[in-house]
Structure 1
Amino acid sequence: MMHARPPELRRRGGRVAGAILRMRTRPLSRLPSTATGALRDRSGSVATIFAVAMVPVLIAAGVGIDIARATSSRTALQDAIDATALAVAHLPASTSQDDLEAKALLWLNANLNNSALQNVQLDAALTNGEAVLTATAAVPTTLTAIAGFPTVPVKAASTVKWGLGHVEVALVLDNTGSMSGTKLSRLKAAAADLVTALSDSTDSNDPNALKISVVPFAAAVKVGSTYRGQTWLKGAAPKQYFEDNDLRNDLFNQKKQQNRFTLMDQINTAWGGCVESRPAPYDIDDTGPISSKPQSYFVPYFAPDEPDNNTIESGSWWPQYFTFPNNYLSDGTTGTNNWEDRQGRKQKYTGAPGNGGGPNKGCDMQSLVRLTTNMTTVKDKIAAMNATGNTNIPIGLMWGWHTLSPNQPFADGAAYDDPDTKKFVVLLTDGDNVNDATNNSNRSSYSALGYIWQKRLMGTDGVTPLDENSSASQRTAAMDARMLAACTNMKAKGVTVYTVRIDLSGSASTALRECATTPDMYYDIDSSGLGAAFSNIAGSIGRLRIAN
C-alpha cells in the first residue's frame, strides 16, 4: 500500500535536487580562484617530478645500450686480435720488437671491422714459440655520457702457440714416367717451397720441431742398398708370402726358396735397393717384423730373367708368340719351350747379365730419405727425383707410413700417443694405380707385387687375391682398395693425410678423396696450381691454436 509523501518534503527534495544539479554543471572557470590555482601548482609539480625521475631511467636505458655496444665491440676486438696473433706467430723469432709491433698493428687493423672502436692500442711480444698480444680500445657512449662516462674501455688478449709441437711429415711423391717434364719440375719447386714454409713456421730453438721424410715411388720404392743385411730384410721370400704357402707361386722351380741376394751376387749385380710389397694384411699395416710371422718380413726386389725363346708353349695346341721385356740371361736349355721352366731355372744365374734389363728393372727411382731434421738433405733429394715406371700408390703410401712409424724397419717416428708430436702424410700422384695386363705368359710386368699370377694382390673383397685372369681395371680397383685400407689404418693411428691429384681429366678419384683425412685435404688440380696447393697444405700443417 503506497503512502503519499508530505507536501513539505516533496518541496524540499526538489530544491535539494536542483541545487545538486546546478553544482554539477557549474563551469570550472567559476570555481574559486584558490581552487584553480591549487590545481595549476599541483600539475607543475608533477611535471617536474616526472622530468627528474626520467633522468635515471634514461641513464639506465643508455647504460644497457652502451654495454651492448661495448660487448659487441670487445668481441670484434677479440676476433681481430686472435687472427693477428695467428699471423704474428709465423714471423721468425729474430723479428725485432718494432717490426713485430708494426706488422701486428697492420694485421689488427686489417682484421678489425668495427668503426665504434677508438684509440686502439696494441702490445705484442714473440718469444719461445709464443705470440702474446694485448689490445685496448675505447667505445664512445651515448646516454651514459650524461652520467659522466663518455667512453667504455674494452680489452682483448691472445696467446698463440704452435699447436702441433713436434711435426713429422712424409712427402710421398709420384715419380712415374708420366710425371716427366713440366709436371716433375713443378713438383720439385712446390715441394721445396713446402719444406721452406714448414721450416720457417717452426720453433728454431727446438732442433726436433720439424722432421721430414721423402718417399719417391713408381712401381716400387727404393729404400737403398745400404740396408742389405738388416734383420727386417730376408733374402728369400718366405713361403707365407704366397697363397696357401705354396712355393709354386714363387719365381723359381723345384719349390725351393732362393736367396735373391745370392743370385744377384752370382751375376755380379748389386741389389738396387728396392723392396717388394708384403702379403696381406701386412701390405696395409705398419706392424714391424715378427719372428713368428715370416710374412711380416720384407724381401728385396728381384725381377727374374724372363724366357729367351719368344715361341712359348702356353697350354694350347698351337704355338704362342710372346715378347718378354726382361730377358738378360741365357736360359741355358733347349730342351723345353715351357715358359715356366725357362723362367724359373735358378741354374742360369751365372755370369754377367746382358743388355735385356736385369734383376733391378723397375727400380730406377730415387731412394727414400728417412725422417730427418736436415732440410738441405730433404731438398737435395727432391731436386734429384726422376720419372720412371708405372704407378703403385699403395707401396709408396706404406713406405711413407713406415718412415713415420715407431715400428721397424726404421722406428724413427715418435710414439703414436706422444701428445707433443703430430704426424702427416702428403701424397701426390698424377695417375691411377696400374698393373699392366701384358700380352705374354706372365700377364703383367714385374713390380713390387711380383707377377699377377703369383696372387700377391688382394682383391677388392679383401679375401681373394687376383690372378692372371684378372683385367687391368680389376687390378686398378684392387690396388685402390688396398690404398684406401692403408689410409684408414694410418688415420686410425692419428696420422693426418693430404692427397693431391694433378693433371687428370674426368671425375675425381673417389679413393684419393676418401683417403684424405677430411674432404678439404683432397686437392684435384692442374699442375700449375701445385705451388698454391702446397702453400695451403703448409699453412694447414703449421696451423696454430689459440692457447688462451
Structure 2
Amino acid sequence: MLNVRQKSGVAGTNQGETDQQFSMRKVFSNWRKSEKGSMTAFGIFIVAIMVTSAGLSIDFMRQERTRVQMQQNLDTAVLSAASLLQTLGAEAVVTDYMSKANIDVDYNLSVNVSEGINFRAVDATATATLETLFLGLLNIDSLGITVTSGAEERIPNLEISLVLDVSGSMGSNSRLTNLKTAATQFVSTIISGGSGGTVAMSIIPFSSSVTPSQSVIDAITMEDNHDYSTCIEFADDDFSSSSLDLDSTYKRAVFTSRYSDTGSGDFDDADDFNQDWRSCYMDEYFELLAYSDDETVLYNKIQGLLAQGSTAGHTGMKWGTSLLDPEFQAVTNSMIAAGVVDAAHAGMPVAYSDTNTMKIIVFMSDGNNHTQRRFGSDYRGDNSVVWKAEGGTGVWVEGSFDRIYHRYSSWSSSNTGYEYACSWSNYYCTYTEGFYADPDPYYFEKNGNYYGVATETWYNSMTGMTFENLSWEEAWGLMSIEYYESVMGSGAATDWGSTSARTGSQSDTLMSANCTAAKDRGITIFTIAFEAPSNAETQLNNCATSDNHYYDAQGTSITSVFSSIATTIQKLKLTL
C-alpha cells in the first residue's frame, strides 16, 4: 500500500522548509555534485580562515604595541629613578613617568627601591589587561601584559695612596712647587669634582724613609730598643707582600745622621743632625697622612711638604700598598681611637673581594732609588761603647806630673817630657793630688779608657761611678756618625753607607716585587716619572698597571698628568 505524505510548498522540499531555503539547498547540492561547487566551498573555507587569522593578528599586534609602549616608558622611568643625582623619590619618579606616557589601557604598577650611600637600585613591574576584538571567537576575551624593568647606579668607593717623592732633588728646578700645584688639583678633582661614592685618600711622603705616626706604631709589634723615631727597617721578604704582617715584630730603624751641622757635632743634640743625611725624619711634615676625605687637611699636608734626604721608593711603595691592604684594618682602628682618623673610615681598607671599592696607588718620583743606609750587627744591639752615668762621687782622677827636680842642684822643670827620669836616682818628681772629677753624663769606652762627652777628656779609671751601658740604638740617637768617629775613629760610616747598606739596584728589585704583589691583588697603579733619569723611568713603567698607566712629566706639565690620572679614575668608577 502506497502511503503518500502531503507536504506544503514545492514538491521535494523538506517538511517546514520554505521555498527560498529549498532553492538554496538545491544550489548547494548541485555545487556538491559538481567539481566547480567543491572548489567554491574550499575557497570560502580558506577565506574564513584568513579572515579569522587577520582578526587574531590584530589582537596580538595590539597586545605587542601596548607591551612595547609600556616597556619603553618603564625603562625610561626606572633609569631616571635610579640616578644618584635624582632628588625625588624613586617610586614617585616611576609613577609620574608612567602616568604621562598616554598608555591606552589601565595598568597596575609596583616599584621596589634599594639604596645606600653610593648606590640606588630600582625594580618595577607593570601589568595590564587588553580586551580583544576578534579572539572572542575563540572564547579569549582578553590578553594579559606584564613588563618588568630594573636599573641600578652604583658609584664605587675609592681608596687611594698618593705616594710622593720628597727627596732633596725635588727641591731643584721648582719640582716640589710644581708637584704641590698638581697634587692639590688632583685632590680637588677626586674629592669635590667626583660623582659620588666615598673617598679615603692617604698621602705617603718618602725620601730616605717613610715616617708613620705614633698611632700606627702603637698598633703593630715593633722592637722597643729606642724611642727616637718610628721608621721601620723592612726586611727583603717584606716586599713580596702588599700587606704588613701584624703578627711579626718589625725592626725599628736607627735614628742618626751621617753628619752634624756644626763641625763634628755635639753629643745628645739631635737638632744638630744634618737634615739631608738623617736616617729617619721625625718632623710632622714627613709623617704619612692616612685615610682622609677632608680637602683642607689634604691640601695642608701637600703644601707643608719639604724636600730632604735621598730616595727610597721601595719603602714608599711598601707603605702605599700596606695602606690599601685589609690587614691594615686593625691599624685603622688604632688611629680612629687616637683621633687621627675619622670614625667614618672604620672598616678600611676593605677586602679585596669588595667589588664596590677601587684601590689605587699614584706614585711619583724624580730619581733613581739610592743606597739605603743602615747599620749591620757590629753597630746594632746591646753593649755599645757608650755608657750613661747613673751616680757616684765622680770619676777618680789620679794626680798628674807636676815637676821634676835634680837632687844635687837647683835645676827643676815642669816639662812633662822629663817625666821619664823621675825614677832615676839623681831625680825626684812631684805630682798633683788625685781627685774625683764631676761626672760627665755619658762616656765612651776605648781600650780601658773613658772619654767624658762634657769635659771632652779621657780618663783611665771609672772608680767611684755607676753606669748603664746603652744599646747601640739608644747611643745612635744621641750622636751623629761624624761625632762618633771623631772620638772612636773610623769604621761606622763605612758600615752604614756601604758594608751593610742596601744598594739602589737591590731597592729596585724590592720595589718591583712589591708592585707585582699589589697588582696581583687588583690594585691599580699609576706611576709618574717627573724629570727622572732613564733607569727610574724604566722602573716606574714596569711598576705601573700598564703602559697606559705610566706618565712622563716635565716642568709644569705634571699638573696635566695628575689631571689626566684623576679623569681616568673617574671614568673607571663609572665602568666598575
TM-score by length of 2: 0.46
Quick check: which one's strand share is greater?
Answer: 2
Structure showing greater relative contact order (alpha-carbon pairs closer than 8 Å, 6 or more residues apart): 1
